[in-house]
Structure 1
Amino acid sequence: MTIDADDPRLKSVQIADAIRQDIAGGVLNPGSRLPSHAKLAERFEVATQTIQNALKPLRDEGLLRSAGNRGTFITDDAREHLAAQPDRPAGASETAELRREVAELRKRVAALEAAVDLP
C-alpha cells in the first residue's frame, strides 16, 4: 500500500488506519509481530520516523505492544479494542496526532525563544 497523496490526512494517520484495518480484517493477527520499521517504511514509501509516528497512537490504543529488540507485536486483545470503538469519530487519530505535533512545535518555539532570549 502506498500513501494517497490526495488524502488530506497526515501520512502517519493514513498508515495507522491501514494497520487498524489489517488488524480488524485478520491480515495481522493477535500475537503476531509487525514487520520492522524499515520494512513498513518501504511498504508505505515513507521515512521510518513516519512509521514511528504512526505506531505510537496504536500503542496508546492498546493495539500494539513493543518488546524491546524483539519488535512490535499485535496485542492479544487488539480486535476487542477495535470492536469497543465502533463509533470512533472520523479523524480522531488525526486530531490526536495534530495535538502531539502542536505540543512538539511549542517546545521547539520555546527553545528557540530561549536561545535568542525572547520573552
Structure 2
Amino acid sequence: MRKLIFLIVIIILLGGCNVNSSSNNNYDKKIITKAKNTVESYLVNNYQHINEIKFSDDTNDPMGGLMINGTINNEVSFSASVDPEKFVVKSLGTDDGFPPKKEECEGKVCDY
C-alpha cells in the first residue's frame, strides 16, 4: 500500500513539473511582427544613432512572456520584453556600447 501511495505522489509531482515547464511562448507571426514594430519604434524614438535594427527569430522569454531580441547597427545586442496585449516595451536589456538615450528622453520614455 505504501508503494502505491509513493508511486501516485511521484506521478503527480512529475506531472506538475511537466505542466510548469511547458512554454507559453506560442505567439503567432502577426503578434511577433507587431511586437518587433513596437520595439523598432521604441528604439528609434528613444535612442541616438540607431541606423539599423536586425531582429533574431528567438522570442523565448523564460518567464513566459514575449521577448524580442536583436542587434543595433550590426554591433550591439539587445533584448526587449514586450506586453503582447498592449504592445508596449516593458523592459530593455542591452550590451555594453548600446547607443545613448536621446537628451529629450532622459528620465522618461518618449512616445513611440
TM-score range, shorter chain: under 0.3
Q: TM-score, normalised by structure 2?
A: 0.26
Q: Give the number of the structure whose residues are more often helix, by fraction.
A: 1
Q: Give the number of the structure whose residues are more often strand, by fraction.
A: 2
Q: TM-score, normalised by structure 1?
A: 0.25
* Larger-gyration structure (1/2): 2
